[in-house]
Amino acid sequence: MLDGNEDYIQITTIERHILEEQSSHPEATGVLTSLLYDIALAGKVIASKTTRAGLAEILGRTEETNVQGEVVQKLDRFADLTLYRLNYHTGRLAVMASEEHADILPIPPEYRTGKYVLLFDPLDGSSNIDFNIPVGTIFAVYRRISEDGPGTLEDCLQPGRNLVVAGYLIYGSSTMFVYTTGHGVHGFTLDPSVGEFLLSHPHIRTSEEPAYFSANLGNRTCWSEGVNKFTDYLLGLDSQREALNLRYIGSLMADFHRNLLSGGIFYYPADRKDPTKPRGKLRLLYEASPLAFIIEQAGGYGSDGEQNILDIHPESLHQRTPLFIGNRELVEKAEDFLKRYD
Ligand code: AHG
Ligand code: MN
Ligand code: MN
């Protein structure tokens, strides 16, 4: 018998955890387990590049711009290719969609299609790669709606309420894999010495006591009156509350992950000036919806300023949405300010 020191704390790999999660899904056939395992594997492959980006000739830009009109970073392309190459041939997916591609990514006709749909932002926070700031991968898994055969755009345009799995990887001081299947949010930390994601943050609940707020105050002149009044409230300028600490790193994954654990709110509102960002900058399908599912499972809330992100029915693949996400009380406060002043 161990002498009662910390060695007895069980070691749970992500595979073991996903298998146990699947036992609570009666219809599970192990396909979802394998899909999640492959996404975790993609994370390990991407992490192997992000942790050596300065050495691996993977810094900097490609000559391309993507459907978002943004310059594609080399690591964007690498992460996008890695996720596609690990999943197109497995027979688990009906279709994929990526931030980096204008249209859906069909499964090549020589391969079987499966019952799941995978949407992803292969690398979030790209503009920060060259400055050694944490970046991430965000993914969303749905069940296909179409009966069989090649997956369709409609299979991808589902509201967050239909999500089967949502999760992200964050490539920071450590590499973490955080996911939910609707039974709580669980975080795993990669142990590079053994190449395994080990359970490090079971049953994550966001703190009721917010510690930070995260927004790009450089955009204040582009925000509505309601958003600016809410921002003054967070800064304690209207004496309704103590000022919250501001932390904004410009990487949604890093800002979201910190607020998930510490309590707080992240918001990227609609832009009243920049005609390219009338609904803000962030994308509904592979940024806002999966994170809204995660935060709700952790006791928080994700809103577009008027409604729950999970209730929005997408009309297009790269549809953008204003996003207020984190501590429920603060997000609802933001909704109040927008209702009162906008
Ligand atoms: P991506 O790198 O996938 O395009 O996402 C970048 C997003 C998000 O990570 C971050 O919150 C936001 O861009 C920062 O935008 P600003 O620089 O306009 O604040
Ligand atoms: Mn992104
Ligand atoms: Mn991205």
Lowest mean pLDDT, pick from 22-31, 90-99, 268-277, 300-309: 22-31
pLDDT digits (tens, 9 = 90+) for 322-339: 999 999 999 999 999 999
Instruction: Look up residue 10 and give its DSSP letter.
Output: P
CB-CB contact of 315 with 148 (8 Å): no
Looking at the CA of 99, which ligand is closest? 3
Residue 1 pLDDT: 47
Average pLDDT over residues 46-57: 75
pLDDT band per the 50, 70, 90 thresholds, residue 107 = very high
Average pLDDT over residues 95-122: 97
Distance between Cα 125 and ligand 3 center (Å) = 6
Nearest CA to ligand 1 atom 1: 124
pLDDT band per the 50, 70, 90 thresholds, residue 226 = very high
Looking at the CA of 76, which ligand is closest? 3
Compute the half-sphere exposure of residue 281: CA atoms within 13 Å on the CB side of its CA: 16
Ligand 1: nearest atom to the Cα of 123: 3
Average pLDDT over residues 177-196: 94
Domains of the chain (ranges plus CATH)? 14-201 (3.30.540.10), 212-341 (3.40.190.80)
**Above 50 in pLDDT, residue 257?**
yes
Residues having C-beta closer than 5 Å to ion ligand 2:
121, 124
Helices (H), the chain: 14-22, 31-50, 74-87, 153-156, 225-234, 252-262, 289-297, 328-341
Residue 151 pLDDT: 97
**Above 60 in pLDDT, residue 293?**
yes
Average pLDDT over residues 273-286: 90
Residue 297 main-chain phi, psi, to 5 deg: -70, -20
Residue 50 pLDDT: 82
Which residues does ligand 1 sit against, CB inside 6 Å? 70, 99, 121, 124-126, 216, 250-252, 268, 281
pLDDT digits (tens, 9 = 90+) for 60-83: 667 777 777 676 678 899 999 999
pLDDT band per the 50, 70, 90 thresholds, residue 19 = confident
Burial code (b: 16+ CB inside 10 Å, e: under 16) for 201-229 equals: eeebebbeebebbbbeeebeebbbebbeb
Ligand 1: nearest atom to the Cα of 125: 2
pLDDT digits (tens, 9 = 90+) for 118-147: 999 999 998 888 888 999 999 999 999 999
Distance between Cα 318 and ligand 2 center (Å) = 11
Distance between Cα 106 and ligand 3 center (Å) = 20
The fraction of the chain above a pLDDT of 70, given in percent, is 92
**Above 90 in pLDDT, residue 179?**
yes
Residue 275 pLDDT: 82
Give the pair of three-digit tokens for residue 341: 């002043």
Residues having C-beta closer than 5 Å to ion ligand 3:
99, 121, 123-124
155 Rama class: left (phi>0) / alpha (psi -120 to 50) / beta: alpha
Ligand 1 pocket test target in 121, 135, 282, 283 with most atoms within 8 Å of CB: 282
Residue 16 pLDDT: 86
> Is pLDDT larger for residue 341 or for residue 194?
341
Distance between Cα 127 and ligand 3 center (Å) = 9
**Above 80 in pLDDT, residue 10?**
no
Ligand 1: nearest atom to the Cα of 128: 2
Lowest mean pLDDT, pick from 51-55, 144-148, 153-157: 51-55
Ligand 1: nearest atom to the Cα of 218: 19
Distance between Cα 250 and ligand 1 center (Å) = 6
Give the pair of three-digit tokens for residue 238: 């209207």
In the three-class reduction of DSSP (H, G, I as helix; E, B as strand; rest coil), residue 199 is classed as strand
Give the pair of three-digit tokens for residue 52: 């050596």
Residue 4 pLDDT: 55
